Amino acid sequence: TQLLEQSPQFLSIQEGENLTVYCNSSSVFSSLQWYRQEPGEGPVLLVTVVTGGEVKKLKRLTFQFGDARKDSSLHITAAQPGDTGLYLCASRLYLDQAGTALIFGKGTTLSVSS
Amino acid sequence: ETGVTQTPRHLVMGMTNKKSLKCEQHLGHNAMYWYKQSAKKPLELMFVYNFKEQTENNSVPSRFSPECPNSSHLFLHLHTLQPEDSALYLCASSQEEGGAATEAFFGQGTRLTVV
């Protein structure tokens, strides 16, 4: 089972600052997803990256997939209090029998204060 | 509203009790999952059901017993739990198509406290 290492574990910043969080593995990802989880809710998908070197933008969020498909980063520009939450990266685990399931990193807890 | 509904939202139970968690998805998906989320640990995959058949039991103790009567409903039966089983239990569903990278939709979870 490949492990997903996320860093930093906690991040507390002021509104308007920029930040980057990371997801790394010793294994090659077939694809990688980023989810955000707010308190009292389940995780919600932000993006899926599939191709090495791929960059995807979602408003102020920029997601990058490493060329070797072993790492990914999430950069937030001009963070806002609404960005507060737990950011999780996930990769797909292929099961012995038909089907797949997602495995997750521990996540980065982001707190943005105004 | 993600299309995945979990009940109850909160549950407090004694170690000798028997209770069940319920999950229902209204998305027409063919796969459903149970995850456990504890403090300081990543989301842990517990069980996977694909087309109502259990395809994965991720070394979960037998005091947790899943049931999938149809592709829209998933239960987690609990009995003689331990305090360390206190956690957020999340249900998810997805449409599995030959291993393609599909999105998982999560319920809001059941916050379980074992006393």
DSSP-derived secondary structure for B73-94 = EEEEEEES--GGG-EEEEEEEE
The predicted pLDDT at position B55 comes to 67
In tens, the pLDDT along A43-101 reads 999 999 999 999 999 999 999 999 999 999 999 999 999 999 999 999 988 877 657 78
Q: Which amino acid is at A102?
A: L
* Tokens linked to A64: 């990058």
Whether B4 sits inside 8 A of A95 (CB atoms) is no
Q: Which residues pair with A71 in a beta bridge?
A: A24
User: In whole angstroms, what is the distance from residue B92 CA to residue A7 CA?
Assistant: 25
> Which of A 51-80 lie inside 8 A of B, CB atoms?
none
> Backbone phi, then psi, for B58, in 5-degree steps?
-80, 60
- The whole-number average pLDDT for the span B104-113 is 96
Beta strands in A1-114 (DSSP E): 5-7, 10-14, 19-24, 32-37, 44-49, 55-58, 61-65, 71-76, 85-94, 100-104, 108-113
Whether A100 sits inside 8 A of B96 (CB atoms) is yes
The predicted pLDDT at position B99 comes to 62
Query: Which residues of chain A neighbour B40 with C-beta distances below 8 Å?
Result: 106
Whether A99 sits inside 8 A of B96 (CB atoms) is yes
Residue from B43, B49, B103 to probe the interface with A (highest A Cβ count within 10 Å): B43
Residue B109 contacts A, CB cutoff 8 Å: yes
The predicted pLDDT at position B100 comes to 66
Query: Which residues of chain A neighbour B42 with C-beta distances below 8 Å?
Result: 4, 103-107
User: In whole angstroms, what is the distance from residue B75 CA to residue B59 CA?
Assistant: 18
Residue B2 has pLDDT above 90, yes or no: no
Whether B55 sits inside 8 A of A99 (CB atoms) is yes
**CA dist A75 to A5, A7, A72, A89, Å?**
17, 12, 10, 13
* More confident site: B49 or A98: B49
* More confident site: B97 or B105: B105
**CA dist B86 to A23, A45, A104, B65, B114, Å?**
27, 25, 19, 16, 5
Residue A2 has pLDDT above 70, yes or no: no
Residue B97 has pLDDT above 80, yes or no: no
Pairing of strands A10-14, B31-37: unpaired
The predicted pLDDT at position A99 comes to 72
> Which of A 10-49 lie inside 8 A of B, CB atoms?
30-31, 33, 40-45, 48
Whether B96 sits inside 8 A of A106 (CB atoms) is no
